Structure 1
Amino acid sequence: MADAKPGIYASLLKHPNVSKQLIDGSKFLHWDDESPSPQAVTLRVDPKGHLLHWRDGSGYIDSLEISNIRDTRTGRSARVPKDTKMKESCALFGSSEALVEDRTVSVIFGQDLVNIQWQNFVATSKPIAQEWCSQLFTLATNSFVNNPSFYDLLERTWTKLSVTRDTEGFISLKNFYKPFASHRDDKKRIDMALSNCGLLSKKVSDEFCITSTY
């Protein structure tokens, strides 16, 4: 035991390598159990592999943490819509040569292994679905992603904020409240801190925070 090298395993933990395809994004149809109809979205992963996020045509953004992904499935194990009209809409999206399930990426996620949810994305082709399914699972099972440092957690929080920028580069103040404020006094402290830093700006009747390059 005297010859043991306690630091040798630390060097094996490396930041995940996010492929260019995931960073640039791909077009998908998104649906879940609560969706009245599938929505066309652009699906992306940030360069550090913290977040899977998507934006629809109206600019609405949703996301989930990569570390909360428990499994990814495509093909026979993927989930397809039970509603006939929704399934037909998915079938008309992209290549008609592949079945809907072969072009579907089902993302199973949750804080634990019991309370899980599904998000489903239909790609334009089978190879794209397979690539995304494989890459997302590799990221989700990366030891570095699942054992973040304090700095990584801060960076992850910042990533959640930065992907909500609008076309003019603003982040809505309400998005700052979500991770940092639990009651009204916290909101006042956030307002004061951002104001003192000169980051608060007015846009129409809502308050926004101007973001700088991170």
Structure 2
Amino acid sequence: MASAQPGVHALKLQPPSVSQTLRNGSNFIKWDEVRNQICLYPLSKLETELLDLTLVKDVRTGRSSKTPKEAKLRELLDVGNLVGRLENRMVTVVTASDLVNVNQLNFIATQEEEAKVWCEEVFSLSSNLLSHNLNRDHSLLKAYVKLTLQPNAEGRIPVKNIVRLFSSDRKRVENALENCKLPYGRVITLNHSFYY
């Protein structure tokens, strides 16, 4: 009688690695049909918007992406020396913190290949199992990076950002800051380079 093999499959978990294409960055146009506005990216340092990749549920391009319904907005997005069909240059990033709160961010790339590469790479990063199950040290580093990427005009971290990031219980966070002998008032700011 042959011995039975257990039904366990080995899954090799690889830490997420950001490709050189994503590190170099690309220019996208962000559009919003509800507000009927178009934004050029990258934004200035003071207007940084952050999106946690663990909230990204899908990244779409081509027929699966969202295209503007309004003809005027489609015309605005399809100007200049952009290469390829409009729908193939569209990138839709679907985010959700739960099953009810689903959002879509819509971008347009200058070339079809650029949209395809970004979709594949961002989806690969967002679906990495290790990034969804970080250890304590990586979670704290992730929080630190989030805080340092959103400084105020003087380049300092507002305490209100720390409160918003770590807890809805403001008093608890302020007590923790006070116990660490850090400033803890709501309008106080911290110099981020000093504490790293």
Name the TM-score class by shorter chain: 0.7 to 0.9
Count, aligned residues: 189
Q: Which structure has more RCO (C-alpha within 8 Å, separation ≥ 6)?
A: 2
Matches within 5 A, 1:75-114: 75-92=62-79, 95-114=81-100
Counterparts of 1:1-214 in structure 2, within 5 Å, are: 12-42=12-42, 56-57=43-44, 59-92=46-79, 95-165=81-151, 169-186=155-172, 188-189=174-175, 192=178, 196-197=181-182, 207-212=188-193
| Alpha-carbon distance change, 13 to 118 in structure 1, aligned in 2, over 3 angstroms | same
The residue type paired with residue 120 of structure 1 is: N
What's the offset of the Cα at 1:174? 2.3
1-structure distance, mates of 2:73, 2:158: 33
TM-score in terms of structure 2 length? 0.79
* Residues 83/174 of structure 1: CA separation in 2 closer, same or farther (3 Å cut): farther
What TM-score, normalized to structure 1? Answer: 0.73
Shift of 1:118: 0.6
Give the strand-richer structure, 1 or 2: 1
Q: Provide structure 2 residue ranges, at least 5 long, that are not aligned to the other structure.
A: none
The residue type equivalent to 1:160 in the other structure is K
| Deviation string, structure 1 residues 32-91 (Cα, Å, up to 9, x no partner) | 34433011112xxxxxxxxxxxxx247312222111111111111111122333222221
Q: CA deviation at 1:166?
A: 5.2
The higher radius of gyration belongs to: 2
Letter in 1 for 2:131: V
The separation in 2 between residues aligned to 1:140 and 1:86, in whole angstroms, is 29
Check conservation: 1:28, 1:40, Cα contact below 8 A.
Answer: yes
Q: Does the 8 Å CA contact 2:150/2:157 hold for their aligned counterparts?
A: yes
1:9 CA displacement? 5.2
Native 8 Å contact 1:103 1:125 kept in 2: yes
User: Closer, same or farther in 2 for the Cα pair 1:58/1:212, shift >3 Å?
Assistant: closer
User: Would you say the 8 A contact 1:180–1:186 is kept in 2?
Assistant: no
How far apart, in 1, do the equivalents of 2:171 and 2:128 lie?
38
- Aligned identity (percent) is 29
Aligned-pair distance for 1:168? Answer: 5.4
C-alpha RMSD of the superposition: 3.1
Secondary structure, in 3 states, of the residue corresponding to 2:16? coil
Indicate conservation of the 8 Å contact 2:163/2:170, yes or no. no
